Amino acid sequence: MSHKYTRRQGGKQITLSPDSPVSSIKLIACVLGVGLLTMSCGSLPKESADAQSQRGSGKEQGNNATAVDVAIARTELLRPQSEYTGDTYAFRVVSLRSQVEGRLLALNVDIGNAVKNGQVIGQLDDALLLTALKQAEAELAARQSEVARARTQVGNARAEVERLRLVVVQAQADSQRQQKLLKEGAIALQAAEQSQTEARTATQALRAATEQVRTEQQAVAAAQGRVVAQQALVAEAKERRSYAKLIAPIAGVITEKVTEPGNLVQPGNEILKIGDFSRAKVLVKQVSEKELAKIQLGQSVEVSLDAFPNKKYTGKVIRISPAADVTARLVPVEVEIPNTDGKIGSGLLARVKFPPAQQRVVIPQTAIQAQQNAQTQRSGGVSPPSPTNRETPNQNRNGTVFVINNTDGKPKVTARSVTLGERADSKVEILSGLKPGESYVVRSGNPLKDGQDVRISVISEKPESAPKNN
């Protein structure tokens, strides 16, 4: 069956038949032209896509480092600190009491007044004390006169001894002359014997006078002893009279007045109390016996007062009570805090925290690799942390952490073995193997191996932006 094609050309209608050789050639040329045009249009996007694909694959091959999240190791508390409440007290309180009997004439201070050590703050009636002092002084004067009289007697006795010594010398000389004359027959025997008797009598009188001197000297010593005793009584009377002045025994603040002027006070009666607030003391009564192992004498503590919410105080433990409450099993603990400005008074509410004596590096548990995979880590077969390969408290106390090393500006990871401590709140203590300030991998999207190049993510901590250690 033959078909004819009709077309208009130059205002004339031309009829073509497929049987015509000319029309067949034209038809074939038209079909080929359309095919070539179609192939050229399809090949251009394909070549562009291939070029883009080659550029993209080249970029991936140049940046094949695994992206990791990095954190900075720092020391901090594994668990939130327990907070205890307590009350503030003066570091010490001294009670001023009367030492003598008398009526309180004046009290120059009131509650809240500051006093200095040695300041006179009151006066008792000292009339009777003054009378007793004068009597003691008069008795002392009498004792001193006795000493003077005794010394005069000693002087007189010594003078008598000297006189009798001369008499003895004269009597002995006379006796010797009488004996010489007796031998010559110039005098009678009776006269010679009488001269000897007078010499012996003078010698005995000299001995008696010498003993008298000793006696008078002993009397002087006894009188001097009475003077010394009376001087002590006078000093005591003066001291008792000084007790009529009420003197502050310490520097501090008057915290309580027990009596008022006009009242009669007896020895030992309390007059007022003085508190030393140069330092303040906080008494924490509700410390559990289970927490005692974490508290030591001299340990640093953190104290805040509700009265001064914007100020923190650093104190220390000064006393741990040896006796606990047998019912509640609570142990009182005393803490000392500075009070240089003197604003801390007694009875303020204090909040006390006992931080541990030593803080350790704490990191998320997601950064820990199991120790049994250490050999695999070094060979490059470590999988990223997951709940299935995290350690539990009953597992090994060792683990592995990937530490960041920036060598020649290219971050790499190094597998490092660490010793693990306690765990809490998805965190773990590092006892050894990781130091504060070192950068470590928290998580990665692909397996890591020792020495592998990594790419630090934008959410990672930078050393200059890492917060300071607690």
Q: What residues form DSSP beta bridges with 407?
A: 410
Q: Following DSSP, what letter does each residue of 192-260 receive, concatenated?
A: HHHHHHHHHHHHHHHHHHHHHHHHHHHHHHHHHHHHHHHHHHHHHHHHHHHTTEEE-SSSEEEEEE---
Q: Following DSSP, what letter does each residue of 277-291 receive, concatenated?
A: EEEEEEEEEEEEGGG
Q: What pLDDT sits at residue 192?
A: 79
Please state, for a pLDDT cut of 70, what percent of the chain lies above it: 79
Q: What pLDDT sits at residue 423?
A: 85
Q: Into how many domains does the chain fold?
A: 3
pLDDT at 15 over 80: no
Centroid of chain to Cα 3 = 115
Q: What residues form DSSP beta bridges with 320?
A: 333
Whether 342 is covered by a domain: the verdict is yes
CA distances from 295 to 83, 355, 358 (A): 13, 9, 12
Centroid of chain to Cα 469 = 20
Q: What pLDDT sits at residue 334?
A: 95
Do 178 and 226 share a structural domain?
Answer: yes
Do 217 and 134 share a structural domain?
Answer: yes
Q: What pLDDT sits at residue 368?
A: 86
Do 455 and 360 share a structural domain?
Answer: yes
pLDDT at 189 over 70: yes
Whether 386 is covered by a domain: the verdict is no
User: Average model confidence (pLDDT) for the chain?
Assistant: 80
Centroid of chain to Cα 398 = 35
Do 409 and 343 share a structural domain?
Answer: no
pLDDT at 457 over 70: yes
Whether 187 is covered by a domain: the verdict is yes
Do 209 and 309 share a structural domain?
Answer: no
Give residue-wise pLDDT tens across range 145-174: 999 998 998 899 889 889 888 888 888 888
Do 231 and 197 share a structural domain?
Answer: yes
Can you give the CATH number for the domain in which 305 is found? Answer: 2.40.30.170
Range of the domain at 314: 276-355
Give residue-wise pLDDT tens across range 212-243: 889 989 999 999 999 999 999 999 999 999 99
Q: What pLDDT sits at residue 279?
A: 94
Give residue-wise pLDDT tens across range 436-454: 888 899 888 787 888 888 8
Q: Running DSSP on this structure, what letter comes out for residue 460?
A: S
Whether 17 is covered by a domain: the verdict is no
pLDDT at 53 over 50: no
Do 191 and 163 share a structural domain?
Answer: yes
Whether 73 is covered by a domain: the verdict is yes
Do 189 and 286 share a structural domain?
Answer: no
Can you give the CATH number for the domain in which 447 is found? Answer: 2.40.420.20
Give residue-wise pLDDT tens across range 77-102: 777 778 899 999 999 999 999 999 99
What is the Cα–Cα distance from 369 to 390, expressed in whole angstroms? 7
Contact 70, 438 (CB under 8 A): no
User: What is the average pLDDT across 302-314?
Assistant: 93
With a CB cutoff of 8 Å and minimum separation 6, the contacts of 279 are 91, 336, 337, 338, 339
Q: In what order do the strands lie in the sheet with 264-265?
A: 245-247, 120-124, 102-107, 264-265
Phi, psi dihedral angles at 399 (to 5 degrees): -155, -175
Q: What pLDDT sits at residue 408?
A: 73
Whether 384 is covered by a domain: the verdict is no
Whether 122 is covered by a domain: the verdict is no
Kindly report the pTM of this predicted structure.
0.57
Contact 172, 241 (CB under 8 A): no
Give residue-wise pLDDT tens across range 263-278: 999 999 999 999 999 9
Do 363 and 333 share a structural domain?
Answer: no
Q: What pLDDT sits at residue 31?
A: 52
Query: Hey, how many other C-beta atoms are within 10 angstroms of the C-beta on 77?
Result: 16
Give residue-wise pLDDT tens across range 389-408: 444 444 458 888 999 888 77
Tokens representing residue 164 in the block: 């009798």
Whether 21 is covered by a domain: the verdict is no
pLDDT at 326 over 90: no
Do 239 and 133 share a structural domain?
Answer: yes
Do 360 and 335 share a structural domain?
Answer: no
Do 337 and 403 share a structural domain?
Answer: no
Q: Which residue, 290, 324, 355, sits at the end of a domain?
A: 355
